[in-house]
Amino acid sequence: MSCRESNDADLNEAVLDTVEYHNPVVTGFHPDPSVVCVDGIFYMATSTFQYFPGIPIYASTNLREWQLIGHAINRTEQLSLFYAHSRLIHLENGNKMIATGGLQAPTIRHHKGTFYVVGSNMVRRDGVMSREQFIVSTQDIWHGDWSDPITFDFHGFDTSIFVDDDERVYIQGAWATDRRKQPHTLIHQLELDLETGQILSPSRLIWGGHSNFDTEGPHIYKKDGWYYLVAAEGGTFEHHMLTIARARDIWGPFQTYEQNPILTADGEDAFIQGLGHGELFQDSDGAWWAIALGFRSLDGVWPIGREPFLSKVEWPEGGWPAIQQPSMTFVAKRVSEVAQMPSVEAVSELIHLRGRERSSYQIPNPHGLGTIRLLPTCCTIDSLRGLPTFVGKRQQELSATARVTLDLDLVLRSADHVQAGLAVYLDPVRYVSLTYNFTTSTVIFKLLLPGTQTYKETSYAIDPQDATMLQFKVEAHPTFYSFFYALQHGPDGNEGAWLEAGTATTRDLFVRFFTGPVFGIFAQSERAWGDGTVPWVTFRDFDVSSTAQRVLSGPRIRPKAVSTGVLAESGFHLTADSS
């Protein structure tokens, strides 16, 4: 064989050994990703804040296809999200931010046959914020048999686990006391008994960070005799970054990398912005990868929220890691698929606000297909605490449609202002909804903008004698939402024309925030029902469909709001895949 033929053969083999990867690896809001590889299977955990079940666990054998296999917090008895509070904060630079409590920044690890998830539950009781640190574990991650939490004391959040070669276990986290005395977080570490939560050594400062500005989300990796400490800095928005330091001893001193940050989109005119809070991990071949949160930015607005983005890493022996800038698609070596995932039933993607009162729900199909019956409660979706009757599905793409049908039960007309509807829900201080009031026979379009504490409402009177069902529909476009309703005669009856009830732009709804939009159905009332006369509200066929849009080339998208929802501007190209 000639040298030319040999080179061609090597090139062909290299091409066959590469594959295209797509970002984000899981769509819809899934911030603060943490990944561990065990026996050829990758497991990822992300934050859920005020939603239950909490901390989804995804699995993959190839880093391209991810399957939801369960949640680390899947029983209301494990911990309470009742006080997972959301509040509007006015930042010093003039921007606004919605700070949402609940389950934040989990880390997933595996040690001697057991999976561990460590995280923080941020709650606000009587005006006082508290951070509850916990560890849950399981030896059977595929069947969701997660333990009750083991708690431990740490004055901060974003906790991580590192097990050293000598089996000693260390917790790292973002240390935060009084913001008036300590404006920015620092990385502290303590030693702990992983089985009991007993602290074996007090918390100590190990690194202030590269920029010394909101140093958070730490993870430690041991490589080539060094302890590498990776952290997020700069805040979780446009100045976000990943930075790194290393030390010969677990307690330091940690040497800051001179070429920090190792990952950021700050100052880049790119579609993917806000890159940071992530970690490094290896595949079964020993190759290194990075996973980090980011957001798809449309002219400074990120409608979907923060999502996990994958990229390749080159990490030379004894040196520092170099992370490839994440893109929507990239080509890299195919991951060796050395394992097969067990066959398990598909896990429900339905989520609830701050928990789930079982007696308020009748959901025969765990995926929301068919009939869903909800018991109205006086805890509404704009309540800052408590358990509204709410069933949601994440918005996963910039273009999506949510639909549901509501039974116009005449019995509910005599109830005390029972209302039920469909919402684009962000948090208690920002949402858009289309609601039917059974008592007044009106459809109400309601818009709650951040910082206003007042509603913009438009009402439409209907005659319930003209129909037995009412359809709701939301069309999500990259820059706005449109809400529609239509009357229907029976499940198989004639459908009336769709009538537009209102629109809302993503920019009007936008402030800096931690979560992402959720399409949700809900039922609420002006009274609590506990006397046995349960006025169940019946929904049918709650469905969310999406159109995946992939940026192939060009600078950051700066779209115009057009009625078709199609992005049309020179300088970039989109493809659309139905899903």
What are the strands, taking DSSP E only, across 298-439?
Answer: 307-314, 322-323, 329-333, 352-353, 361-362, 371-374, 389-394, 399-407, 419-427, 430-437
pLDDT grade for 128, boundaries at 50, 70 and 90: confident
| Contact yes or no for 443/483 (Cβ under 8 A) | no
pLDDT for 87: 86
Ranges of H-type helices in 159-270:
none
Mean pLDDT value of segment 262-281: 95
Decide if 546 is inside a domain: yes
pLDDT for 99: 86
Tokens 């974003």, located at residue: 158
Assigned token pair, 182? 């300590």
- Which of 244-248, 397-401, 453-457 is least confident? 453-457
Closest among 256, 264, 308 to 45, alpha carbons compared: 308
370 and 314 share one domain: no
Q: Is the pLDDT of residue 568 over 80?
A: no
* CATH assignment at residue 471: 2.60.120.200
307 and 422 share one domain: no
pLDDT for 576: 39
What is the SS3 assignment for 446? strand
Decide if 162 is inside a domain: yes
| Contact yes or no for 560/572 (Cβ under 8 A) | no
238 and 364 share one domain: no
**Domain encompassing residue 506:** 352-551
515 and 452 share one domain: yes
Q: How far apart are CA 33 and CA 279, in angstroms?
A: 8
Mean pLDDT value of segment 487-511: 86
C-alpha distances (whole Å) from 11 to each of 1, 19, 314 are: 15, 14, 21
Helix (H) or strand (E) holding 191: strand 186-192
427 and 494 share one domain: yes
Mean pLDDT value of segment 334-347: 90
pLDDT for 9: 46
For the entire predicted model, the pTM comes to 0.91
400 and 441 share one domain: yes
pLDDT for 455: 82
| Contact yes or no for 479/506 (Cβ under 8 A) | yes
Residue at 84: amino acid letter: A
Helix (H) or strand (E) holding 506: helix 506-509
Decide if 570 is inside a domain: no
pLDDT grade for 577, boundaries at 50, 70 and 90: very low
135 and 282 share one domain: yes
Decide if 573 is inside a domain: no
Q: How far apart are CA 520 and CA 194, in angstroms?
A: 38
125 and 159 share one domain: yes
C-alpha distances (whole Å) from 251 to each of 3, 106, 433 are: 53, 22, 51
- Which of 92-106, 157-171, 215-229, 423-437 is least confident? 92-106
Contacts (Cβ under 8 Å, ≥6 apart) of 140: none
357 and 326 share one domain: no
- Which of 38-52, 60-74, 317-331, 451-465 is least confident? 451-465
Q: How far apart are CA 469 and CA 258, in angstroms?
A: 64
pLDDT grade for 16, boundaries at 50, 70 and 90: low
What is the SS3 assignment for 15? helix
* CATH assignment at residue 48: 2.115.10.20
pLDDT for 179: 55
Decide if 563 is inside a domain: no
Question: What's the whole-number average pLDDT of the chain?
Answer: 88
Q: How far apart are CA 96 and CA 88, in angstroms?
A: 7
Instruction: Give the number of domains in the chain.
Output: 2
Decide if 276 is inside a domain: yes
